[in-house]
Amino acid sequence: MDAFASLLGVIQTLAIILIIALVILTFFLPFKFRIFVIIIFGILLLVQALLPITGHFKDSFLFFILHGLHIVS
């Protein structure tokens, strides 16, 4: 499980770097390319929400939101 957790940590780190790069690129791209950037940005945010660093769903950001809304316990 430790190898899986470290792999998820690497994926999350890469996703954060890509999100920052996409936000910066958005200012320099023409409008028609911004739609693709927004789609990629959304996918990366979904990856961030679903993949916790520890490998347990209860440590993920999505679980934190769902728990705050009292959807899961």
Contacts of 15 (CB under 8 A, 6+ apart): 44, 47, 48, 51
- Residues 27, 61: Cα–Cα separation, whole Å: 27
- How many domains, the chain? 1
pTM of the model: 0.46
| Structural domain includes residue 73 | no
Render pLDDT for 16-64 as a digit per residue (tens, 0 to 9). 787 778 778 777 878 777 777 778 777 777 776 666 655 566 666 666 6
State how far the alpha carbon of 8 is from the alpha carbons of 12, 18, 43, 48, in Å: 6, 15, 16, 10
| Structural domain includes residue 20 | yes
Show the tokens assigned to 58: 């209860």
Using the 8-state DSSP alphabet, how is residue 57 labeled?
A: G
Domain range holding 29? 2-68
